[in-house]
Every structure is written in structure tokens, then in C-alpha cells.
Chains A and B, each alone.
Chain A
């Protein structure tokens, strides 16, 4: 692994290093960035990096002569709290006074920071250790400087809250005064660092307000939509309503007549599959957003729709069902499922349908770009600033060095803002009009042209023996793959997608089979919070409840039985046909541990009052799922009313994510994931007719209460429907950290629908629940 890296953002680093102590931390250790370096980071030894980006992720930590500490966080903040959590980790080891810590957002720069992709719930997993080491390294250097100044052994001094203290003499000295000496001292190698024991943590595991909290509450926080430049123009784009469509003709006259409209610009078409590229269309550039919206709406465009005009959700569901009912591509096979099913005492099968979902972040896609003769600078709410930078460089014919991507706060993202299409639009338009341009997607644009969550039919078949034990399990999943957005002829889920529930199934079932069925794509499929775990976990969590019911057993007991005695699942003997996938981690580091499944299962059940009687009309059920290397169990308590509406008195969520940095933000993520999971299950559905998305905008609030299924509105959970109580129970752990942002979503929907079954006897196999409960409420 590279040990010394070329620093090509020299100017930036010079500025940071000037007079202060600047450390760069990578997985292989920390180095000082000298203010006198001539092109390489001054380091503790080693060899120069080979060409190309470093393999190691990097984080930067600076202590100024004033004693102020700056931590440069290279992950995007979209509400998950990463800016705060990562800074807490570095500040803790540094013994910084939190009041003196400033957190800065890094621009997109792979050479300097390594991968900045904020996805896959891996920020804490990937960077907790490097940030702790950066803090510990700086602390050691400051302590050494103080010991030298006082002429005492370094073992006699200790950093405390932005000072170094010599306990026996009572002397103290501030970090700022030590910087001038500390920056000349050798950087201690990683092996010599003394990291804190968990009992010594000052910030890790404690409650600290998020760094942007105060700004958010007074309207000062700056999101992508809030970026402004002098002379900036505003643009809104009409894109082809059918994926792959093109402009046949456009009548611009009415649009031009709108006061404030300045220019109408054609954007280039991208053939299917369009990948990260914009869809093309016609842009209206104006003096303000309102004029741009009105101008866009006044365009009269005739489109060539192309082959995807046939896309119809009803027809497509039938195609997916056919796919899931035939033998598919085998991803995992153990034992002989055909024989086992034939000999089973009881045999049941079920099909589940999970529709397209739209991300619908409250901040619709938006980006500001300024393209000049020398380069391009953008300000955007992006989860992937480097991908955006590379894509912009390619489209504009610039070198990556001439492109700067500033990462703003993200007003929600959920995977949508991993795609740079909206940023590229802004740059193309800025170049076309010769001024800074902000592209604003309206909510209509957002719903019509999202990179949608896939649409799935999941078919399960199971066999029980005479003791009610599962002896056979066949899971077939038919859904268009995310890979189809990037390459032609992708008809099957890949190994990584199948490993989100199907091939990593932990249960001790002797005869087991997982297959992918073919599915032809007709729209852009993207990553949506917890991704393919959504359909897989819904089907698995529901089917287990169905099997438990068929076996006449309590679901919690049944799941514990399926897990078997506590053990590590041996994935080398799991009958995988493809490459084992574990969220980019090894199974040695992050094994599938059934004890951790059982731990969250029992914790959630106990805390929820499992087994205690409920009033008539109520039900309480559970589901458990491992994703992004964390284990989550959800218990949902639901009340179904006589009119078919429902309310949710209580949800209990137990999470085992290894070491927790910021428990308060972890609880917030689990609360939010629960509400998003419930919203997906109760209301979430994007449908197509004639190749066009039918949902025009958010469903208006007056419809939401009635469980309305109006197709023209995209409904998301509102406050009055939210659970009255959500209790999050975090398993105490000093183990390796897992993901937090996504793993709370998958078990929520099956727990809800299982609870509905417990309350009413109605099994929900088609999502969303929407109006399906009419007439069921009185049964219980």
C-alpha cells in the first residue's frame, strides 16, 4: 500500500499547513504535510507512491497556532451525521476541546482523499480507525513537544482538552503554543501509537449535537439549492418522458414570451443505457427559478418515445411473475431441494411483489456550475464528488485538475445523489450560456426521471417436516438489475445483488436454493437506501412468518430454531456458484454470526413486550435482517381500524452494528429508517403507463389519511401516520463497526406486514399495503 503520496492539491495543502501541524492519515499510517514540501508529503519514511490514486483512504487533521483544530471530512453529509461522528473520533484521540474543533467539507479529489463515495453505509466502517489514528498521532507529537519544552520524560505528560498537562508539577500548555515545535518532530509510526481504551473515550459513544444542527434550526445551513454566484442564471429542463426518448420537434415561442426567460438550449441525447449521463432534452434558462419553471412548462415538444414506450407496470408484473415461476440462474444450491420438497410434511409457496420506489429526497436534484475558459467549478449536493468530477472532465474535454466539485450539504439523498447527471446538465448549460447556471429539478422532474428502486417479484417455496422444521427452501428473485443502467443486455442480478439477502441467508436449512430470474430493464434503476435488500428481505421476512404460521409456531421461536445453535456461517461451504460477496468486506473480518442475529432478535422481542396480550384489532410481529454488516431486528405493533386504515402504536428496533461512535445519531438513523421502511411498505409505488411515470408530484396531504391509492400522487408517510413511539435498542459492542444508514430499512416492511397478518389474518404479499385492508379491520 502506498505510504507516501504525491500531493497535487499543493496550494490547498500549503494553505492548511502554513504555520500549523497538518497530518494526513491513511490506512497505512499518518504523515505530516510540511509547509515546505516540494511536491511530496514529508513523511516518516517509505517510497513514493506509484502513479495513480492511492489505495488508502485519507483524512486530514490540522492544528493551528491558535490551537484551533480543523478536521476535513471527505464524506458527504445527508442527514446520517457522518460529519459529526468522524470528527468526534479524531477529536477524541487528539484530546481536542470540542468547542475548538471545526469540521470542513472536502471537495471531490480522489488523489488527496481516496474514495469519497458516500454510499453502502461504510463511512464509519472505513474511516473510524484512520481518524482515530490521525488524532492519536497528533496527540503524541504535541505531548512530545511539551515534554521537550519542560525537559521531562514524555511519559510524565498527557494531553487533556486542548492542553498538555504535567501532572506532578501542575504545569499546562495549550496545543497552539506547541504547534511550532510539534510540527518539526518525527511522526510516530502507526505501531507506536497508543489509542485510547473505550473507557477513556471522551466523545466516542457520547451525545454531541450534530455540527450543522444550530445552522439548520435558524435557516443558515447551505444546501445545493442555496448556492449562488454573481450573474447566476436559473435553468429548468424538459427531459424525454420515456427512457431513451428523443426530441422530435420543439416550439419555443410561448416559452420565449415568458418574462425573465433568456435562452432555450438543447441538451444532447444519451442512448440507452444512459449510465451516469443526463437524458437530454430542452432547457430553459432564465433570470429566476420561477421564470425558468414557467418557461419550461410553456415549451411545446413532440417526442420520439422509442421502444420503452411499451413499459406498463401491470404487464411488467406479469412478466416478472413468469420469470420467477421458471428455473433461473442458480446463485446458491445446497442439498436437493426437489427431493426435500417432495418429501416434506407440509409444503407452501408464496409470491411477493415489491414495486418501484422513488428516492424523492426533500431537496430535488439541483446543481450550480460555472464553466469558464480555464475550467469548471460546481457546487452540488453529491454523494460521489469524484465520479462527478471525472464525468464533468470527460464531457467538457478538460483534465480532472481543471474541474472542482464542491460538496454542499445534501437535503436528503438516499442513493439518488450518487448519480451526477444533474451536475453535468448544469455544466453543459453554463458552458452554453457563458454564465454560472443553477439547474433546478422540480418535484415533477424528480419523480419522472429518478434512478428508481427496482421492481421485483420474489417467489419462495418451503417444506416443513413433521416437527415443523424447515427442510427445504427455494427462493427465486426476478428484478431488473442496477447493472442494466450501465451496460446493455444485463438481464440478471449480479452476485452482489443476490448477496443482499438471498445467498447470504444465515439459516441452517439442509436443502436450499437461490436463483435469479431474467428481467428486461425499461427505466433507469439505481441504488435506493438498503438497495436490493428491500425486496429480498420483505420476501424472506414475510415467508418465515408464513412458515411459522404453517408450523403452528411463534415466529420469534421459529426464527431462533432456524438459526440453530450459535455459529459462524461457513460461506465457503454454502454452495455459492459465484464470487462470495459481503459488502466489500471479507467473511474473516465480518463473518455471518448467528449469535448476533439471535441477539437482536431477543433484544427487540423482549423490549417490545413480546407475548404480552394486545387489544383486539392489534398485532405485533418481528423480522430480522443483516445488511451492510449490521444486524437489525424490528418489532412492529399495528392497529387495524374497522375502516381499513391503520395506526402504529409502537416499533422496537434492536441493532448490533459493532462499535458505535454517536449513539444519538444511530438512534436517529434507526428511527428514520423505520419511518422510511414503513412509508415504502404502506404507500411507496411508482407505476408506468405508456413508458411514462404516472406519479406527477407528491400526493396532497388531504388524500393521505384515507389510505388513498390515487395513482397520480407519490405518497410518503406523514406525521400523523408515524409510529407513536419508536424505541431503538443498541447492542453494546466493541466489535468492528458495521453500517448504520441503511440496515434499519429492510426488516421494517416484513415486520409491519406480519403484524398486519397477526391483527387481521390478511397476508400482504403485494406492496404497497395502500387500500388492501378495507374490510379486514373488524376480523380480530
Chain B
């Protein structure tokens, strides 16, 4: 089968039931996507399938045939990403740095992918919308309050970047 990962086309002939998680990690060497539980209960393996967050451990490679997979390594280059100063970063990645969100960092790729997917659909989420969208992603270090704050910052950056957006204090 054929699939696109971070803009590159790949042909895969192995077990079609292999979860996308292990395919991108073990076969493609894209190790930014993490294993956490294998049952879709923690979100560490979150990737985008055609721009929408899915659990990599619950998505067989076969479900990605003919579709576009984005992992954390490819996030900045997606349409919702915008160049930051120096390095090309997605707004969510920039906000994560602004708020010093990560502690150990292991779950953060999944958190960032989930947040980016949320903002793509809901550019200015309320706290309740953030809670609902992010509650599937566990963080054992306890960075949750910063994740909330960073998503609001990213949403603000997105709003500020739109030329047609109403004035938010920036001239």
C-alpha cells in the first residue's frame, strides 16, 4: 500500500494491521511519536491523518493507505504552521516554548499534535473546549495548567496573524 508521511510517499508491504505508531517509529525512524499505553487511553502516540488527530496505536497502517500522515516532525510544515523567528515552527510549538510547558517532554509530541488539531477546527477554544479536546492526553509530570495557557496563547497568535481579523490591540 502507499501512504504519505510528512509529505513523503512511502510504500509498505508488511503487516497491514501494524499500528501507525510502530510503523512510523520502527520502520520510518520517526521517533517523535511516542508509545504510552497501546489502547488509546493516553494520547502519547497522537498523529494527524489528513489533518485530524488520531491515536497512532489504534490506527492500523491500512487505515492510512492513500492518505496523509503528519507526525510531530512534520507539523511545522503543515498549512496551519507559520514560520517563527529563526526556526519554522507551528504556532502551538511556539506557544509551548513560550510557556515552558514540557517537563520530561515524553508526552508533549502527542499533546502538541492534539492541540494543533483542536485549533485547526476551533481557532479560539474556550476552557471547556480545551478540556474536552485534551483530556485524552495524559501527562504524568502534571503540565496541564501550562498546556491550557499555551493553547490560549497559540489561539491568540492565530487570531493576530489573520489580516482580516478584528483588532485585538495589535496595530
Q: Which residues of A contact B (CB under 8 A)?
A: 77-81, 209-210, 212-214, 216-223, 225-226, 228, 234, 259-260, 288-291, 293, 360-364, 409-414, 440, 442-444, 664, 668-669, 671-676, 679, 697-701, 704-705, 713, 716-720, 722-726
**How far apart sit A673 and B130, CA to CA, in the bound complex (Å)?**
22
**A675: chain B residues within 8 A (beta carbon):** 142, 144
Is A410 a contact of B104 with CB atoms below 8 Å?
A: yes
- In this complex, how many residues of chain B approach chain A with their Cβ under 8 Å: the count is 62
Taking the nearest CB of chain B, how far is it from the CB of A482, in angstroms? 21
B71 contacts A361, C-beta separation under 8 Å: no
Cβ-defined contact, A362 with B138, below 8 A: yes
Pairs A-B, 3 closest by C-beta atoms: A219-B32, A675-B142, A411-B106
Partner of A219, one of B14, B19, B71: B71
Verify B97–A214 contact, CB threshold 8 A: yes
Q: Which residues of A contact B22 (CB under 8 A)?
A: 288-290
Find out whether the CB atom of B103 lies under 8 angstroms from the CB atom of A720.
no
Q: Judge whether B143 and A362 touch: CB under 8 Å.
A: no
Question: Which residue of A has the minimal Cβ distance to B101?
Answer: A217
Decide yes or no whether B166 CB sits under 8 A from chain A. no
What are 5 A-B pairs with beta-carbon distances under 8 A? A79-B105, A214-B87, A221-B105, A719-B135, A719-B137
Assess the A676–B31 pair: CB atoms within 8 A. Answer: no
B54 at the interface (CB under 8 A from A): no
Interface-central residue, B22, B33, B41, by most chain A CB under 10 Å: B41
Bound Cα distance A228, B28 (Å): 12
B93 contacts the other chain (CB 8 A): yes
B158 adjacent to chain A (CB < 8 Å): no
Minimum CB–CB distance for A83 against chain B, Å? 12
Q: Please give me the residue from chain B that is nearest to A667 by CB atom.
A: B100
- A290–B108 touching, CB < 8 Å: no
Give per-residue flags for B33-48: 1 if the beta carbon is below 8 A from chain A beta carbons, else 0. Answer: 1111111111010000
Most buried by B among A217, A223, A234, A664: A217
Please measure, in the bound complex, the distance between the C-alpha atom of A701 and the C-alpha atom of B135, giving whole angstroms: 7
Closest to A705 in B: B135
Secondary structure at the B interface, as helix, strand, loop or mixed, is: loop
Most A CB within 10 A of own CB, among B40, B102, B147: B102
Q: B119 interface residue, CB < 8 Å from A? A: no
Q: Is the CB of A290 within 8 A of B34?
A: no
Chain A residues closer than 8 Å to B131, beta-carbon distance: 719-720
**What residues of B have a CB within 8 angstroms of the CB of A716 in the complex?**
138, 140
Contacts of B42 in A (CB 8 A): 362, 443, 698
Task: Return chain A residues, CB-CB under 8 Å to B104.
Answer: 77-79, 361-363, 409-413
Tell me, in angstroms, the Cα distance from A364 to B138 when the chains sit together.
13
A230 to B87 alpha-carbon distance, docked (Å): 31
- In whole angstroms, how far apart are the Cα atoms of A620 and B2 in the complex? 57
- Chain B hits for A723, CB < 8 A: 145
Determine the distance from Cα of A321 to Cα of B159 in the docked complex, in whole angstroms.
59
Shortest CB distance A714–B (Å): 10
B100 touches A209 (CB 8 A): yes
B6-41: contact bitstring with A at CB < 8 Å (1 yes, 0 no)?
A: 000000001100110010011101111111111111
Q: Any chain A CB within 8 A of the CB of B156?
A: no
Across the interface, do A362 and B140 meet the contact criterion of CB distance under 8 Å? yes
Find chain B residues with CB under 8 A from A668 CB: 100, 103, 143, 146
Nearest-CB residue, chain B, relative to A210: B100
C-alpha gap A720/B87 in the complex (Å):
32
Q: Among the listed A81, A363, A443, A704, which residue makes an inter-chain contact with B106, where contact means beta carbons less than 8 Å apart?
A: A363
- Measured in the bound complex, the distance between the Cα atoms of B96 and A289 in whole Å is 30
A633→B38 CA distance, assembly (Å) = 38
A218 and B39 in contact, given A289-B25, A290-B22, A719-B144 (Cβ under 8 angstroms): no
A698 touches B142 (CB 8 A): no
Residues in B with CB closer than 8 Å to A664 are: 100
- Interface core residue of A218, A228, A442 (most chain B CB under 10 Å): A218
